[in-house]
Structure 1
Amino acid sequence: MTTRARSGITKPKPIVSLLTTTKSPLPKSHIQALADPNWNPSMFDEYGAMLKTRTWDLVPRPKNVNIIRSMWLHRHKYDGNGKLKKHKSRIVANGKSLEAGIDFDETFSPVVKPATIRTVLHMGVANNWPMHQLDVQNAFLHGDLE
C-alpha cells in the first residue's frame, strides 16, 4: 500500500504560538483607571507634569461663577509595527460645562499642517540632514497664553 508518508509527501505543520500580549481595556472612569496598574502611572505622569509646569493655580471659588469640570481621557499608543507602546492619559476640560460667551470666546488648538511637515522633510532630505523623531509631552503647557 502506498501512503503519503512512504512517498515523502508531508503537509506543512502550522506553527502555533501560545505567547499572547494583553492590553488593559480603556477605563470608563478615573476610579477604574487608578485601580489598574497600567493606567495608574500614566495618570500620575500627567498630573506630575501639570504640577511641574504650574498649569493652574488653586484659588477660592467666586460666588455665582460657573465651574468648568475636567475629565480624564485614556488612549493606547502604538509603535510603527502596531505593538502597544504605552498607556496615555490626559486630563482635559469637559466641554459640556462651558458656556459660550461666558467661559470661552474662541478655541485654539495648535496643530502642524501636513504641508509644513512635507516642507521640513524635503529640506532635510535635500540638505542631507540627519532626522530624528521625538514625542514632546505636554508641549502646549510650555508656552505663555494670553
Structure 2
Amino acid sequence: MSISVDTKPEFYHQAIKPSHWRDVMSAEIAALENNYTWTITSLPPDKNLIGCKWVYKIKYHADGSIERYKAKLVAKDYTQIEGLDYSKTFSPVAKIAIIRTLLAIAAVKGLHLTQLDVNNAFVHGDLSVKST
C-alpha cells in the first residue's frame, strides 16, 4: 500500500497555499457560475443567512497514487430551518442492491457497461431522456 505525503486540507487557509487545491477550487467556482447556481442580491430582513464551506477530497488510483483532487463548495445546511430556508430536498442515491442487480443482468446478457463520472450536476427542472 502506498503512503501519500499529500493530505487533504481541513480549512480554506490551508488549501489556498498549494496550487493544485487553488486550481480545483477555481474550477468549482467556474462550474457554479456557468450553471447560474446563485444570484448576488441583498438579504431580505426576514431571511437567515446561510454560510458555506469548502470540502476537500483526494481521489486515489488502486495502486495508491493520486488520481485527482476535488473541492466542493457546500452550504452549511445545518443552519437552515425547514419551511423558512427550504421546502424540499432532492438527493438520489443508488442502492447497492440495485447496482448488483444491474451488474447481474449485464453479465447474463453479455452487455457492455461504461462508468460515467459526473464532475458537476445541477437539477433545475424535469429530466428527460432523448433516444439516439
**TM-score tier (shorter):** 0.7 to 0.9
Q: RCO greater where, 1 or 2, for CA within 8 Å and sep 6 or more?
A: 2
Query: Is 1:73 matched up with 2:60?
Result: no
Partner of 2:124: 144
Match of 1:128 among 110, 119, 122: 110
Number of matched residues? Answer: 124
Which residue identity is paired with 1:118? R
d(CA) in 2 for partners of 1:103, 1:66: 7
Query: Is 1:64 matched up with 2:46?
Result: yes
TM-score by length of 1: 0.73
SS across alignment from 2:107: helix
1:7-26 matched pairs, under 5 angstroms = 22-23=5-6, 25-26=7-8
Q: Please report how far the alpha carbon of residue 22 of structure 1 lies from its aligned counterpart in structure 2 after TM superposition.
A: 3.0
1:82-131 CA-partner distances (Å, limit 9, x unpaired): 32211110111113422244223453321111122112212221221222
Structural RMSD (CA): 2.1
- Do the aligned partners of residues 69 and 21 (structure 1) sit closer, same or farther apart at CA in structure 2, a change above 3 Å counting? closer
Percent identity between the two aligned chains: 31
> Where does the alignment leave 5 or more consecutive residues of structure 2 unmatched?
127-132
TM-score by length of 2: 0.80
- Higher alpha-carbon deviation: 68-77 or 100-109: 100-109
1:47-82 CA-partner distances (Å, limit 9, x unpaired): 111111111122222123101111100011112333
d(CA) in 1 for partners of 2:54, 2:8: 11
> Where does the alignment leave 5 or more consecutive residues of structure 1 unmatched?
1-19
8 Å CA contact 2:60–2:66 kept in 1: the answer is yes
Which residue identity is paired with 1:22? V
**Rg bigger for which structure?**
1
1:80-91 matched pairs, under 5 angstroms = 80-91=62-73
SS across alignment from 1:59: coil
d(CA) in 2 for partners of 1:119, 1:57: 42
d(CA) in 1 for partners of 2:57, 2:31: 18
Partner of 1:46: 28
SS across alignment from 2:33: helix
